[in-house]
Amino acid sequence: MRIYVLNLKKHRFATTFTAVVLALIILSAISISVVTRIFRNELFIEKAAAIPYEKIVILDAGHGGEDSGAIGKNGRLEKDLNLEIALEIGAALEERGYVVVYTRTDDRLLYTESENIKGIRKISDLKNRCKVAANYPDSTFVSIHMNSFGGEKYSGLQVYHKPDDSESRALADAIQQRVITEIQPENNRKIKSGSGMYVLENVENTAVLIECGFLTNRDECEKLSEKEYQKRLSLSIVCAIIEYIED
């Protein structure tokens, strides 16, 4: 079940009000009680009744829109790879009975129209990602990113956790160790505190940020661009998330 559900621009309703009413009728028919809001032409379900928060995972695909993030050796953009892997993780979680909330499902930054000003858009985007997390206070927040550095020799997934939070640290360790065991046995990286990372410092949830690999490493960049590798990596991350939540 997805929470981020309806793009109003894609439907030819006479008015936004009509769209909301129709959506509520449909949702009521399948016995889901919801509170909704409109944000930049998107209809969000804010709360899903009878679903424990610990079964909700917020997936945050970093960057988007004019903010491409890192650029890979093969020309792939971080923002696109982030989204591809977030969607893979989400699909696998949904298959296993989890509710998935996406901060974005397409190529955009999440700034509000009133803050569509150069120099302000990025901080607005980060704040709005945190606002999504705030709607589900006891859920798990997982932000997906790609790493980069000056030389090609650096490689490997690395997980950052919310500073000074034992639960976030435990989740980060579960993900790091699972990926090393199943996919990257040569990876000797350790989890780190996400001190200075805006989303990790400003959400109340258990929260981690996963740097899935280095786009500046040609071989790793190619792997991260391959659908089969994305699926393997995503499944490994999903298994670690579930292991942490259900332990």
Instruction: Give mean pLDDT, residues 15-31.
Output: 45
- 82 and 156: one domain? yes
pLDDT of residue 27: 45
Measured on CA atoms in the order 241, 244, 245, 247, is the torsion positive or negative? positive
- Residue 145: both structure tokens together: 């990113």
The answer on 68 and 190 residing in a single domain is yes
Q: Is the pLDDT of residue 48 over 60?
A: no
What was the pLDDT predicted at 51? 61
Residue 178: count other Cβ atoms within 10 Å of its Cβ: 19
pLDDT band at residue 111, thresholds of 50, 70 and 90?
Answer: confident
Same structural domain, 118 and 14 = no
Mapping DSSP onto H, E and C, the string for 156-199 reads CCEEEECCCCHHHHHHHHHHHHHHHHHCCCCCCCCCEECCCCHH
Q: What is the mean predicted confidence (pLDDT) over 90-113?
A: 95
pLDDT of residue 198: 98
| Confidence band for 200, pLDDT divided at 50, 70 and 90 | very high
pLDDT at 20 over 90: no
Residues 62 and 194 sit within 8 Å (Cβ to Cβ): no
Find out whether 68 and 77 touch, Cβ atoms under 8 Å.
yes
Q: Which amino acid is at 168?
A: S
Given this model, what pLDDT does residue 7 score?
Answer: 38
pLDDT of residue 155: 97
**pLDDT tens column, 144-180:** 999 999 889 999 999 999 999 999 999 999 999 999 9
Q: What is the pTM of this model?
A: 0.81
Res 62: pLDDT: 98
Strands (E), the chain: 4-7, 36-39, 42-45, 56-61, 99-102, 140-147, 158-161, 192-193, 206-214
Report the domain count for the chain: 2
Q: Mean pLDDT, to the nearest integer, of 178-196?
A: 98
Predicted pLDDT of residue 31: 37
| Residues 145 and 176 placed together within one structural domain of the fold | yes
Do 77 and 34 share a structural domain?
no
Query: For residue 242, with 0-12 CB atoms within 10 Å meaning exposed, 13-18 middle and 19 or more buried, which class applies?
Result: middle
Q: Same structural domain for residues 143 and 34? A: no
Helix (H, G, I), strand (E, B), or coil: what is residue 124?
helix
pLDDT at 53: 65
Taking CA atoms, 244 is separated from 48, 172, 238, in Å, by 22, 9, 10
Could you tell me the residue range of the domain that residue 34 belongs to?
1-50
